[in-house]
Amino acid sequence: MLLATVTPAARSADEAAPAGQSQALSDQELHASIASADIVVVGRVSRIQAPSVPALTPQHQFVSEHNPDWQEAVIEVQQNLKGAKGASEVAVHFPASPDVAWASYPKFAVGQSGTFLLRQDRVSTTPTARLTHGPATAYVAPTRTSILSTEDAARVKALLAQ
């Protein structure tokens, strides 16, 4: 099985995803992904940083070869499609580790644009972030199909209207 990796040179979800990935998703599969997402936004990754809020329980962190190496992508919201009313930016935690334990999680790159189907972070030890406007909920993109092209926003809107 070949897995695609988003490199820093990637500038859009189209470049990061395997060819035709968004088209390969049936409306039923995409509708299920949208329904399970807490927020859906169209935007651009403005920066990547270490998590802006320290881990909740650093004394209990377990060190292993499967360490996720959590990073925080800050997405400038260009359009809110679901659940992020009034947000100008959102924080997405993602494991930067290439380890097989984290292979299903997409990696983010500065400048990457797309339609992001995000869930509240219940995976890392830091479910919150500190953004320009103050404390905020942190999110995750748990699968490669959590990131679609910016052009897919119209398809997502149509499915949300059903």
pLDDT of residue 61: 58
List domains and CATH numbers for the chain.
13-53+65-161 (2.40.50.120)
Answer yes or no: pTM beyond 0.85.
no
Q: Which token pair is 150?
A: 């910016």
DSSP annotation of 149 reads -
- Given a cut of 60, whether residue 22 has pLDDT beyond it is no
- pLDDT tens per residue, range 34-84: 999 999 999 999 999 988 887 644 555 566 678 888 999 999 999 999 999
Of residues 79 and 144, more confidently modeled: 79
* CA dihedral (97, 98, 104, 108) positive or negative: positive
Q: Calculate the CA dihedral of residues 126, 127, 130, 131 and round it to 10 degrees.
A: 130
pLDDT range class, residue 3, cuts 50, 70, 90:
very low
Residue 21: band (very low, low, confident or very high) from pLDDT cuts 50, 70, 90 = low
Return the residue matching tokens 């070949």.
2
Look up residue 123 and give its two tokens.
Answer: 């995976």
The predicted pLDDT at position 58 comes to 52
CB 146 within 8 A of CB 117: yes
Strand, coil or helix: 90: strand
User: What's the pLDDT tens digit per position in 89-141?
Assistant: 999 999 999 999 988 899 999 999 999 999 999 998 889 999 998 999 999 99
Token pair 């940083």 is found at 49
Q: What does the block give as tokens for 57?
A: 């329980």
